[in-house]
Amino acid sequence: MMSFVISFFSGFALSASLIVAIGAQNLFVLRHGLKKEHVGPVVLFCGFSDAVLIIAGVSGMGALLGALPQVAKGFTLAGAGFLFWYGVKTLRQVTQSESMTVTHSASISLPKALVSVAAFTWLNPHVYLDTVLLMGTASTAQPSPLRPFFAAGAASASFLWFGALGYGARLLQPLFATPKSWKILDLVIGCVMLFLAALLLRQAL
């Protein structure tokens, strides 16, 4: 019984250490949490996507990805292109003169939100390096019967993190009650996206 618990929390701790970082996906979830817009579907999509990737890694797909560097390069280039487009799009919002607050900010439909979060998730090459390759490698230290518990712990950390980020963002709403604060947030998000795009492009080339 204790071995199951240790394996679960080993996966939980490793996943938490990898996911709690400033990145495109986390910033997207944070922004939707602040706007209280499609939070549930976005959070669930991120959590289930991570769970699928974790299971794939523990099942041995990490070794397959490691043997196909051209596939990783393709994802890297696609991810760089998407991040560049989204970064420019976000920075353009900073120059818009119309008022934008938590209650009067530009909205997007649920399908568009899910397409965007899917791109942030599945076109990010580091997702495959961290979630699939690293989690898969780490799981080999666990005995085969305990690997499902390791994967369950890792997936639980993802669901907990995205839920806390998406629904906890509303605690920051008082800071985003003015148009200026939203412009600052968009400026930061846009710059981070362009920086990440440049890093991915450099990595691919």
Residue 53: which residues within 8 A CB-CB, separation 6 or more? 127, 128, 131, 132, 135
Quickly tell me which residue has 């666990």 as its tokens.
Answer: 142
Query: Looking at the 3D structure of the chain, how many domains does it have?
Result: 1
| Mean pLDDT, all residues of the chain | 83
Tokens standing for 187?
């400026």
Over residues 152-174, the pLDDT tens digits come to 999 999 999 999 999 999 888 88
pLDDT of the residue at 176: 73
pLDDT of the residue at 67: 64
Distance CA 148, CA 137 (A): 14
pLDDT of the residue at 99: 45
Give the pLDDT mean for 101-126. Answer: 80
Q: Which of the four pLDDT bands, split at 50, 70 and 90, describes residue 8? A: very high
Give the pLDDT mean for 19-30. Answer: 84
Phi-psi region of 99 (alpha: psi -120 to 50; beta: other; left: phi over 0): beta
DSSP secondary structure of 155-181? HHHHHHHHHHHHHHGGGGGGGGSSHHH
DSSP state of 104: S
Distance CA 40, CA 85 (A): 25
Residue-range definition of the domain harbouring residue 76: 2-204
